[in-house]
Structure 1
């Protein structure tokens, strides 16, 4: 049995699983000092403003920490793109992959009904910046 060729452009597909599942995404932008990033005890506290250690636990955090609620994958990627445009010159690792691929993969993941998490250290390594699109069930709020 032979394996077929791998489709390197798989992410250019347009799955619709998100619609069938009836999900949306809570979008969070988190900036933290290295000290805050390493504070596991506080990050485990649902009342803390620090990002949780487990991404899905953003849903247990206060609603005031939600930056945007995306109702569609396109809306989620639009939010992500706006954030990315303001950050990419300030963080390490921004050149690879190119923006088209980076945002295209994010759109694909959202269309699958999944979340997206990006994290970067600033160029001087003094701060961590996290972008989170956390998948939430339709009736969460």
Structure 2
């Protein structure tokens, strides 16, 4: 197993456009889903997005955690509720992410930023992913 890391920062209210965030069922033409910049509703569906959306492809849990920590720290100055985030803390987030990724479970962090923006940080398990039998987007 390896991982793919994705992020999205945008206007938080845009996430209400759920139709763009769900691949078609039954599987059909994925063009609209793949073209949408919005993060998918299910973490595993990131693997259906174009490979150029992948920001990193860690081979180990430690590498994935490093990516998450770097992106979190870069966003800290823009947190809408820094005191609330401090109550959770990066250490707790990373400990939970380690447990999840080690067990083959995707990690998704969502954080409100200033000016109505929202940050999504995602690390998705790839080949295999326990929630969908998608091929690796880089194969």
Normalization by structure 1: what TM-score? Answer: 0.75
SS at 1:37 equivalent? helix
Cα deviation, residue 39, structure 1: 1.4
Aligned partner of 1:112 in structure 2 is 103
Mapped partners of 1:25, 1:101: distance in 2: 20
Q: Is the 8 A contact 2:111 2:120 kept in 1?
A: yes
Unaligned 5+ residue runs, structure 1? 1-22
In angstroms, what is the RMSD of aligned CA positions? Answer: 1.7
Aligned partner of 1:48 in structure 2 is 36
Aligned partner of 2:5 in structure 1 is 27
Aligned length in residues = 118
1:133 aligns with 2:111: no
Unaligned 5+ residue runs, structure 2? 23-32, 129-134
Mapped partners of 1:63, 1:33: distance in 2: 23
Q: Is the 8 A contact 2:43 2:106 kept in 1?
A: no
Mapped partners of 2:64, 2:88: distance in 1: 19
Return the index of the structure with the highest Cα Rg: 1
Mapped partners of 1:94, 1:77: distance in 2: 18
Aligned partner of 1:96 in structure 2 is 87
Cα deviation, residue 72, structure 1: 0.4
Aligned partner of 1:36 in structure 2 is 14
SS at 1:58 equivalent? helix
Say which structure is richer in helix.
2
Among residues 40, 59, 79, which one is paired with 1:71 in the alignment? Answer: 59
